[in-house]
Structure 1
Amino acid sequence: MKQERFVAMHAAEWEQLEAWLRQAELKAGPAMRSPQALDFPEAYRRLCHHLSLALARGYSREVTERLQRAVDRGHRLLYRPPAPRWQRAAVFLIAGFPRLVRQEWRCMVLAALLLYVPAIVTFVLVLLKPDFAHTVFSGMQLAQFEQMYDPSNDHIGRTNGTDLAMFGFYIMHNVGTAFRTFGSGVIVGIGAVYVLALNGVILGTLAGHLAHIGYGAPFWRFVVAHAAFELTAIVIAGGAGLRLGLTLLAPGRQARGQAMVRAGWIGAQLALGAFAMLVVAAFIEAFWSSVASFPDLLKYGSAALLWIFVGYWLLRGGREADDAT
């Protein structure tokens, strides 16, 4: 076959493959998620075959060098070693996790409503009817909360324990709450609804009671910073649980088993990201939130920055990859 006809037959395929290789070299993540990535091994084999034909037939140096360059680039991409685990974890937290949260935004909005609406309602209710707090907490529990948030305390939100010990306690407590919220979603979503609403009632009742007795300022100074990570993580874990329950009820066009496997994989990734957020929240809660000596400007200013950071991260993280695909 003459060179002109050979090039005319395959030039479009080469150009398409070269364009994809350029994209993969610049932005590996988006390229590897594109439909063309699935066809790349077969396209690479055809390219190698074209190169062998061009060499065997004595085609011009221009054609053979072009094919050789493309083959070399494809070989580096196809056989390069996988990224280190820490790098894959970082990429997931920076970009993959926020994309998943946005992908499941309906469940996230529902979870946020289930947490915050009961919290607001019970907060107002306790301010109007203070005795309502005793229907949620025992007298001993309320006394303990009052001791924890007494304005005279050097450390807000706790009565004993070192910062490091409380850091470990907060991790265990918060992660346990998040995973109960997620795991209970498998009970047709009812469990996740219950856990979210219950946490909202507890939060609203506690905030209302402390505000009623004049301890509202220490309470808000304690929770406002780490809540950016902690409450958002609980909402995400709840949204993942709701996703499981809704998939069990309405699997769509997939078989229920296949749909549950996919929902479980998505939910597990969301729960993993929520776990990372809760570790950060525990660190802030133990080493920053509890310090009573910091001025209000520093406390609320840092909290505002943390809320802005979390919001920007979840709304914009991985957005460039979304636009590229």
Structure 2
Amino acid sequence: MKQADFERRHLAEWTRLSAWLDAPRQPRAAATPPPRRADIDASEAAVLADIDFPAAYRRLCQQLALAERRSYSVALVERLRRLAERGHLVMYRPPRARWLRIVDFFAREFPQRVRGQPGTMSVAALLFFLPLFGCMLLLQYKPELSALVIAPAQLAEMEAMYDPAAGHTRLGRDSGSDLQMFGYYILNNVSIGFRSFASGLLAGIGAALILLFNGVMIGTVAGHLTAIGYGDPFWRFVAGHSAPELLGIVIAGGAGLRLGLSLLMPGQRTRARAFRVEGTNGAKIVLGVFAMLVFAAFVEAFWSSIGWMPALVKYSVGISMWLLLLAWLLLAGRGRGTHYAD
């Protein structure tokens, strides 16, 4: 085969591999989809996302051996040799310590993956927070409507837990040690988050319904207790853990919506390929959500339930938690490493 024909046949593959190697990445990131960079258009980004680096590297080594055996030009052989050397460094560099990968995941990768789905995350936030605040506001004018959402017996139990005249030493519960309630809150929070994501398999409709349902339920409870004058103990209880818990539910729901959309609108990919990619990405997001919800359960069990703490302290901690978590999700990892865009 003439050199010109050889180059025409493989030039696009070399270009894609070179662009993939140019992308900033973590050690051992050969199996990680590369970023969508500003200088790569959408179609090329889709190709780069599907590159199988080990297979591409093996083909490159074979092509280099052919070029040397056929005595192609020094410039071509040198170009392929440099490309192979760069690939070798990526293929065989040692992995980092596990704890460093965990730190990097929460410091960079998780918030990047969340920001990489702005459309579905925004829709999830609207589906959750609009009914939540809507129900809270409506019940200030029509408190009797709470009985249409929650059974009167359940409302009576909640009123008993947050009755200011009852003199509870622990807020938000009638019994149980902090450690017991920590386990209960973990089970409850994580189950909601997992259902919000997994129900996205139903074309995204399941995730949307769970977000709406939880928004209505939480808004009804908050609105009812506030309307009847039990707002002080209730808000002192929820202030500390509301940020990681509510944001975790929204993020899990957004990942579930994205999973459903991959089946409805796979784009240029096959449905199987789109589902595999979005499922993997969603699973990593849910891993971060799991940590957020476990943290929320810890705060809820050991901090939120403290009854003697002044409201000013509780609200200050709650506001700080919201600001810190929003700053983490919106700013962490910007300009560093791989970006995971829609």
The TM-score by the shorter chain falls in which range?
A: 0.7 to 0.9
Residue 310 (structure 2) pairs with residue 309 (structure 1) = no
Partner residue of 1:210? 225
**SS of structure 2 residue aligned to 1:301:** helix
1:147 partnered with 2:154: no
**What's the CA shift string for 1:98-136, capped at 9, x where partnerless?**
000000111111001000101111112222111111111
Q: Cα distance, 1:150 vs. partner? A: 2.0
| Distance in 2 separating the partners of 1:92 and 1:162 | 33
Give the distance between the partners of 1:276 and 1:321, measured in 2 at CA.
22
Q: State the shift of 1:324 in Å.
A: 9.7
In 2, the alpha carbon distance for the partners of 1:324 and 1:107 equals 17
Structure with larger Rg: 1
Q: 2:311 aligns with which of 293, 296, 304?
A: 296
Distance in 2, matches of 1:253 and 1:324, equals 20
Per-residue deviation, 1:159 = 0.7
Does the C-alpha gap of structure 1 residues 75 and 188 become closer, same or farther in structure 2, counting only changes over 3 Å? closer
Give a deviation string over 1:181-236, Cα, whole Å, max 9, x none.
11111101111111000001101110111011101111111112211100000000
User: Does the Cα contact within 8 Å between 1:29 and 1:321 map onto a contact in 2?
Assistant: no
Whether 1:174 aligns to 2:192 is: no
Matches for 1:10-89 after TM superposition, within 5 Å: 33=34, 79-89=92-102
Q: CA deviation at 1:83?
A: 2.0
AA aligned to 1:89 is: I
* Corresponding residue of 1:8: none
SS, match of residue 163 in structure 2: coil
SS at match of 1:94: helix
Distance 1:75 1:241 in 2: 37
State whether residues 182 and 301 of structure 2, in contact with CA within 8 Å, keep that contact through their aligned partners in structure 1: yes
- Listed one character per residue, the Cα deviations across residues 40-97 of structure 1 (whole Å, up to 9, x for unaligned) are 968x979xx9xxxxxxxxxxxxxxxxxxxxx8x9987754432233322221122111
- Does 2:302 correspond to 1:287? yes
Work out the number of aligned pairs and report it: 286
Alignment partner, residue 321 of structure 1: 336
1:150–1:156 CA contact under 8 A, matched in 2: no
SS of the residue 1:108 aligns to? helix
Q: Distance in 2 between matches of 1:274 and 1:224?
A: 19
1:111 aligns with 2:124: yes
Counterparts of 2:90 and 2:130, CA distance in 1 = 50
- The amino acid across from 1:213 in the alignment is I
Deviation at 1:148, TM superposition (A): 1.5
Q: Which has the higher helix share?
A: 1
Whether 1:267 and 2:264 are equivalent positions in the alignment is: no
Q: Counterpart of 1:136?
A: 149
Report what 2:293 is aligned to.
Answer: 278
Percent identity over the alignment?
46
SS in 2 for 1:288: helix
Residues 193, 252 of structure 2: 8 Å contact kept = yes
* Letter aligned with residue 269 of structure 1: K
Does 1:98 pair with 2:107? no
Q: Which runs of 5+ in 2 are unaligned?
A: 1-17, 36-47, 66-84
**Deviation sequence 1:238-293 (CA, Å, 0-9, x none):** 00110011121111111111111111111111111100100100000000011111
- Partner-residue secondary structure (3-state), 2:94: coil
Pairing partner for 1:241 from 231, 245, 256: 256
Q: For residue 226 of structure 1, what is the amino acid of its counterpart? A: H
The equivalent position to 2:134 in structure 1, one of 116, 121, 125, is 121
Give the direction of change, closer, same or farther, for the CA distance of 1:77–1:192 in structure 2 (3 Å limit). Answer: closer
User: What is the rounded CA distance, in whole Å, between the counterparts of 2:123 and 2:339 in structure 1?
Assistant: 29
Do the aligned partners of 1:30 and 1:321 also contact (CA within 8 Å) in 2? no
Q: Partners in 1 of 2:276 and 2:210 — Cα distance?
A: 23
2:179 is matched with 164
Task: Name the Cα RMSD after superposition.
Answer: 3.3
The answer on whether the counterparts of 1:30 and 1:324 sit within 8 Å (CA) in structure 2 is: no
- Displacement of 1:163: 0.5
Q: Deviations over 1:123-176 (max 9, x none)?
A: 122221111111111121011101211222111111111001000000000000
TM-score, normalised via structure 1 length: 0.78
Mark the runs of 5 or more structure 1 residues left unpaired by the alignment.
Answer: 1-16, 50-70
State the one-letter code of the partner of 2:149: V
Distance in 2 between the 1:41 and 1:90 partners? 30
Separation of aligned partners in 2, 1:74 and 1:206: 57
Distance (whole Å) between structure 1 residues aligned to residue 129 and residue 120 of structure 2: 14
- TM-superposed deviation, 1:177: 0.6
